Chains A and B, each alone.
Chain A
Amino acid sequence: MMSKIVRTQANILYPLILIFGFYIVAHGHLTPGGGFQGGAVIATGVALVAISFGYGKIKKWIKKTNLTAAEAVGLLSFIIAAFTGIGTSFFCNWLANSGLIFGDTVPYGPNPGYLNTAGLLPIMNLAVGIEVLGGLGVVVMYMLSAAKASEVK
């Protein structure tokens, strides 16, 4: 538990960090960034809240079970998204240029960037982002709980 100034700015910054992280994940096929980077940004938000409020309070708000489940669900959906193109090959991007969801074609060369393109890549970005936010967040929570257990003794 840190001082009131730190807790107040953590309250203000936490939703902004979450929005920024999900923006990086969702625009991974248009701008610099992607699943790994956005997930790391969201895990930074978890670390900020955990350090500002102390582990004893935070473990009621952010359950480690949920983060572990997010990690497993992310990896599983990544593998399933890779398996959906098994008709041609593993990791086949069958949604690109198909007209379905995320299936618009892009003009060749520099363009302003259209969100509804790139086929399977945004789905994989989202899956990997969920996996990384769960993984790094649960690493932070595990280390804080070990530090807390060391403190008591």
Chain B
Amino acid sequence: MRKALMAASLFVLFAALLYVAVNPSDFGAELGDHLVFGEPKYTDMDSYFIHNGQNQTAANNIVTSIVFDYRGFDTLGEASVLFTAVLGVGVVLRMLRGDENDE
């Protein structure tokens, strides 16, 4: 029973993903236009970044200017997540190294 359920869910999800990937235009014009490889639909924000990012942040690398300037709050959260995860690894693995006294 459990094996059959797992196989059925895996098959259904894989078939759905593959169907959307092969012909997305069956799901209406909205999704079909979005999922055409090589021709993204809404590019206003990105073309603003490409054309104005070099003047506003004086950086050649537009990805860096987005990561650290336009979307700086994302990067702050990301750095906090990394810091917290490392803190969590230290706390979880601390119970395993009780015999170590180098710090």
Contacts and interface: CB of A to CB of B under 8 A. Distances in A.
B11 interface: no
Please tell me the size bucket of the interface on A. 35 or more
B64 interface: yes
A148 B103 CA distance: 16
B57 interface: yes
Interface string B59-93: 11101110111001101100110110110011001
Interface string B27-43: 00000000000000000
Given A96-B58, A150-B96, A138 B90 contact: yes
A63 B57 CA distance: 38
B97 A149 contact: yes
A143 B73 CA distance: 30
B61 A117 contact: no
Nearest to A134: B86
B28 to A, nearest CB: 37
A125 B68 contact: yes
Contacts, number: 119
Nearest to A145: B97
A73 B93 CA distance: 22
A87 to B, nearest CB: 16
A141 B72 CA distance: 30
Given A64-B103, A91-B73, A139-B89, A78 B57 contact: no
B102 A59 contact: yes
A121 B68 contact: yes
Of B69, B85, B100, the most chain A CB neighbours within 10 A belong to: B69
B60 A113 contact: yes
Interface of A: 28-32, 34, 59, 63-65, 68, 71-72, 75, 78-79, 82, 90-91, 93, 96-97, 103-106, 108-109, 111, 113, 117-121, 124-125, 128, 131-132, 135-136, 138-139, 142-143, 145-146, 148-150, 152
16 contacts: A63-B102, A65-B103, A71-B86, A78-B79, A91-B72, A103-B58, A106-B59, A109-B54, A117-B60, A121-B69, A125-B64, A125-B68, A131-B79, A145-B93, A149-B98, A152-B99
Interface of B: 54-61, 63-65, 67-69, 72-73, 75-76, 79-80, 82-83, 85-86, 89-90, 93, 96-100, 102-103
